[in-house]
Amino acid sequence: MLITSAVLTDATGTRRGCARIENGVFTEFGETLEAREGEEVFDAHGKTLMPAFLDLHTHFRTPGFEYKETVETGSRAAARGGYTMVNCMANTKPVCSSAAIAQSVMDEAKRVGLCDVNQCVSITKDFDGETISHLRALPKNIRFISEDGKGVRSSKVMFDAMCTAAHKGLTVMSHAEDMDLSPIDYRLAENLETARNLYIAQSTGARLHMCHVSTKEALWDILEAKRRGVNVTFEVTPHHIWFCHNEFRVNPPIREEEDVNELIRAMLEDKVDAIATDHAPHSPEDKAKGAPGCVGLETAFSVCYTKLCREHGMKLETLSRMMSKTPAEVLGVKKGLFEAGYDGDAVLVDTEETYTVDPDDFAGKSHNTPYGGMELTGRVLATIKAGRFTYRDSRI
């Protein structure tokens, strides 16, 4: 594929020009490039082309909860939102506590062919809060472990898990929530477990990734840990920078205005590693019963572009770093930049178009979104994975 007449924007800068993809990878960039015989030519008509997005935190609900989402419907949602890779959590049924279950999910994603999937394995076997012996048997292609949906109660279990992770080169993804404190104080629950896990990571040398950071105190502790040399990265979700004083149930909860302001300030100062959606599909019945979470893959770019770039003046290059470059580095894949040899994954966006979010138009199976009826600016027009379209707006 040859993409012409584009505004090429990645974390390193912006220029006008063309991009060539051969055998699934970018091979050439230039102000003008001549089409070769048999090459598909896509005219971007001056729209903005960015490296496709990667989501560090996704729930595709397979196995066991396919009535909420499947690998196929989740992949469609990802493609519609400009994503070509997602990192799926282990809170499935059965819990993803083995390489076999993880591999089955990744194989299904390959069969669907719309989005690469990395599948996490649970920190404790079947989320029992105690057993970590399964971690020692994980093969090298399993690189992330997470208890997402709840925190690991025992500090000793978490210490032992991080020791194993450091030895095997695993990344520990932390859902920071002290489950004993959650019924009393959600803020304290996040803050205390954040601090605990940062100190355990410092002691063990494990690679730690903090999920959906939502309080100013947790943010401050992570930034201070980075200054101490702790091997930690972290993500912020679109809904935690958009809403405050909102009753839509997510976990961690929507926080206060001062938390939102601190998260945005850190983003504007280029201190936040990644934006991750925590895409959490639910059926209407489950959501009505109080299931926490919202779908986010199809609205993430628009929400972040509207809030950060339009309202706060963030450069699009900075947004690209948080949605593409750094997530790719955390996942250890050659994506997220416009460089020769990197995967030929890109997303075409219209940074001027304003539209109203219609959940009935979503490509995913579930419609539990807090953005329904809202006006957002910045729309995904096409998604390209390895040189072929996985999503293309009918207008282009």
Q: What is the pLDDT of residues 92-124, one digit of tens each?
A: 999 999 999 999 999 999 999 999 999 999 999
Assess whether pLDDT exceeds 90 at residue 372. Answer: yes
CB 358 within 8 A of CB 369: no
Cis omega (within 30 of 0) for bond into 327: no
Distance, in Å, from the CA atom of 7 to the CA atom of 320, rounded to the nearest integer, reads: 13
Determine the structural domain holding residue 253 and report its residue range.
52-331
Which of 10, 116, 278, 350 is the catalytic position? 278
Instruction: Kindly state whether residue 12 falls inside one of the protein's structural domains.
Output: no
* Closest listed residue to residue 299, CA positions, set 391, 389, 379, 366: 379
Tens of pLDDT, residues 214-227: 999 999 999 999 99
The verdict on residue 392 lying in a domain is no
| Cα–Cα distance, 381 to 46 (Å, whole number) | 13
Tell me which residue of 165, 244, 245 sits closest to 200, measured CA to CA: 165
Domain contains 176: yes
Percent of the chain with pLDDT over 90: 99
Give residue 245's pLDDT band: very low, low, confident or very high (50, 70, 90). confident
In this predicted structure, the answer to whether residue 291 has a pLDDT above a threshold of 90 is yes
Q: In sequence order, what E strands does 286-367 have?
A: 346-356
Whether 295 maps to a domain, the answer reads yes
State the Cα–Cα distance between residues 360 and 357, nearest whole angstrom: 9
Sign of the torsion formed by the C-alpha atoms of 321, 323, 326 and 329: negative
The residue length of the chain stands at 396
Contact 150, 127 (CB under 8 A): yes
Q: Residue 382: inside a domain, yes or no?
A: no
User: Does residue 358 form part of some domain?
Assistant: no
Averaged over 55-79, what is the pLDDT?
98
Long-range contacts of 328-331 (CB under 8 A, 24+ apart): 328/54, 328/85, 330/56, 330/171, 330/209, 330/233, 330/273, 330/274, 331/54, 331/56, 331/85, 331/87, 331/118
Q: Domain with 184 in it: what CATH number? A: 3.20.20.140
The pLDDT of residue 22: 97
In the annotation, is 270 catalytic?
A: no
- Work out the pLDDT band at 369, boundaries 50, 70, 90: very high
* H or E stretch at 53: strand 53-58
- pLDDT bin (cut points 50, 70, 90) of residue 357 is very high
Rounded to 10 deg, the angle between the 186-204 and 216-228 helix axes is 10
pLDDT of 135? 98
Provide the mean pLDDT of the chain: 98
pLDDT tens profile 180-232:
999 999 999 999 999 999 999 999 999 999 999 999 999 999 999 999 999 99
Whether residue 122 lies inside any domain: the answer is: yes
DSSP state for residue 382 in the 8-state scheme: E
CB 247 within 8 A of CB 294: no
Whole-angstrom distance, CA of residue 344 vs CA of residue 385: 6
Kindly state whether residue 364 falls inside one of the protein's structural domains: no
Alpha-carbon distance of 153 to 391, in angstroms, equals: 42
- When divided into structural domains, the chain yields a total of 1
The candidate with the shortest Cα–Cα distance to 136, out of 148, 145, 149, is 145
